[in-house]
Amino acid sequence: MTALQPVRGTHDLLPEDCRRHRRVVETFREIVERYGFGEIATPIFEFTEVFRRTLGETSDVVTKEMYTFSDRGGDEITLRPEYTASVARAFISHGLKDRLPLKLYGHGPMFRYERPQKGRQRQFHQLDIEVLGAAEPLADIEVIAVGADLLAALGVADKVRLEINTLGDPESRAHYRERLVAYFATHRDRLSPDSRLRLTRNPLRILDSKDEGDRALITGAPSMAESLTPASAAFFARVREGLAALGIAHVVNPRLVRGLDYYTHTAFEFVTEALGAQGAVIAGGRYDGLIEAMGGPPTPGIGWAAGIERLVLLSGVTPPAKRPIAVVPVSPADEGVALVLTQRLRHAGFTVALGYRGNVSRRLKRANRLGAAAALVIGESERARAAVTLRDLDSGDQAEVPEAELEDRLVPYR
């Protein structure tokens, strides 16, 4: 019989993997809470309409990548492919408009049916931040600064570069759309089938195409900068000035776009060459029209998402496991005392391991495999004197310690 395996595109997180993930998440949480963000957790599945409205009927995510099914009640449900739509839905569902501005963060699993490769899985994990109700460029600057601080704290800032662009206001975007359509229409026969569909439905998405023929045409396409209104140009200038004031280096990438109409002004990505094809480790932008498009009140917003797996790969750091203290009963008669002592030390804040079987030699070998820092040996003679033998497993030194003094003597092993 073939051994059961995980579904393609999914992976188990073993203890060392979980330590890597936890390091990223805990670093993220510490930083965002310092910026005044509050945590939100949304369900991992939503009504499909939540994502269909926000990602667009013609997007690759909706047409090719979403995990969608009908539940037993006949509702069409989708496992969340991204976080922002769920946060926006929660904002509308709970009537949070009176709490604006809102600064929210979350993390958890996402699901997309993609071709698995390094840094890309069908179940993956993301960090996410969103600022709702702030239309000012200062919010854009702060959101980007959070990402820069996270990358610095993880020790990978030197492996990434920040690319930014502006999508302008709706007037700028409408003008740019006209110019793009006019340009690509003259090259329609050279466009890929997907891009020919996008030409009438969502021409900005042609700029995201990975098709080699499309890429050649894109190099000659008009730039958004030529379509900006004065107000949009001033907004982008303020964002760039703010980043410069904070010492956050960046480059303008005029081909960095977001295809849907509710995106406005700033788009940005922290990208790297260290992960092969999966270059973006943090990607975000301003989406002032999203919540209104979902049926909520007009509410500006900006945020970003980061792939935890990609950040783990980029950092290459595996935090060491906590070194426990091993409690070693000499015989079955000593196990009762060992059990009570183990629980007492755990309640005092120590990490303690108690083996379930074996003689002293086997229990000590197991303690070494666990990386224990010390062992507490309890035998008949120790019980008679209400003491334990404390052995340092690094130096080999040992001494008898009265049970009453044990917590104080174990402080170096906490």
pLDDT tens-place string over residues 88-134: 999 999 999 999 999 999 999 999 998 887 778 999 999 999 999 99
344 to 72, 327, 375, 386, 387: CA distances (angstroms)? 48, 12, 15, 15, 14
Which pLDDT belongs to residue 18? 96
In Å, how far from its chain's centre is CA 189? 40
What is the model's pLDDT at position 277? 67
Beta carbons within 10 angstroms of residue 95's beta carbon: 10
Q: Do residues 291 and 375 share a domain? A: no
Which pLDDT tens digit goes with each residue over 184-217? Answer: 888 888 889 888 888 877 788 888 787 888 888 8
Domain boundary among 296, 315, 334: 315
**CATH code: domain of residue 299:** 3.30.930.10
- Does residue 1 have a pLDDT over 60? no
The model carries a pTM of 0.90
Do 53 and 353 contact (CB within 8 A), yes or no? Answer: no
Mean pLDDT of the chain: 92
Q: Are 164 and 268 in contact (CB under 8 A)?
A: yes
pLDDT one-digit tens code per residue, 36-70: 999 999 999 999 999 887 776 656 666 678 899 99
- Give 341-349's long-range contacts (Cβ < 8 A, gap of 24+): 341/376, 341/378, 341/388, 341/403, 341/406, 345/406, 345/407, 345/410, 348/407, 349/414
- Total domain count for the chain? 2
186 or 281, higher pLDDT: 281
Whether 306 and 348 map to the same domain: the answer is: no
Same domain, 145 and 262: yes
Which domain CATH number covers 357?
Answer: 3.40.50.800
Same domain, 306 and 373: no
Q: How far is CA 394 from the centre of its chain?
A: 37
Q: Is residue 180 part of a domain?
A: no
- 220 confidence band (pLDDT: 50, 70, 90): confident
Based on the domain organization, do 275 and 139 belong to the same domain? yes
User: Is it the case that residue 80 has pLDDT exceeding 90?
Assistant: yes
Residue 164 neighbours by CB distance under 10 Å: 21
Give yes or no for a contact between 9 and 123, defined as CB atoms under 8 angstroms apart.
yes
Whether residue 311 is found in the same domain as residue 329: no
Is 10 inside a domain boundary? no
Both 54 and 142 in a single domain?
yes
Question: What pLDDT is recorded for position 21?
Answer: 96
Work out the pLDDT band at 173, boundaries 50, 70, 90.
confident
- Whether 168 has a pLDDT exceeding 80, the answer reads yes
Choosing from 282, 315, 348, the residue where a domain stops is 315
In this prediction, residue 163 carries a pLDDT of 96
Whether 337 maps to a domain, the answer reads: yes
For tokens 């007009």, the residue is 298
Question: What SS3 class is residue 126?
Answer: strand
Looking at the fold, whether 252 and 400 belong to one and the same domain comes out as no
- Per the CB < 8 A criterion, the answer to whether 34 and 101 are in contact is no
Nearest to 177, CA basis, from 164, 53, 52, 169: 169
Q: Based on the domain organization, do 307 and 347 belong to the same domain?
A: no
The whole domain housing 145 covers 15-169+229-315
Integer Cα distance of 353 and 305 in angstroms? 38
Q: Please report whether residue 204 resides in a domain.
A: no
The C-alpha atoms of residue 294 and residue 263 are separated, in whole angstroms, by: 13
Domain for residue 216, yes or no?
A: no
pLDDT in tens, 5-38: 999 999 999 999 999 999 999 999 999 999 999 9
**Shared-domain flag, residues 305 and 375:** no
Are 354 and 392 in the same domain?
Answer: yes
Which residue, of 288, 315, 342, is where some domain finishes? 315
Q: Which of 255, 193, 256, 244 is nearest to 220 (CA)?
A: 255
Residue 4: inside a domain, yes or no? Answer: no
Give yes or no: residues 242 and 360 share one domain. Answer: no
Residue 49 counted as domain residue? yes
Please tell me the distance from the alpha carbon of residue 265 to that of residue 137, in angstroms, as a whole number.
9
Look at residue 55 and give its three-state secondary structure.
helix
- 233 inside domain: yes
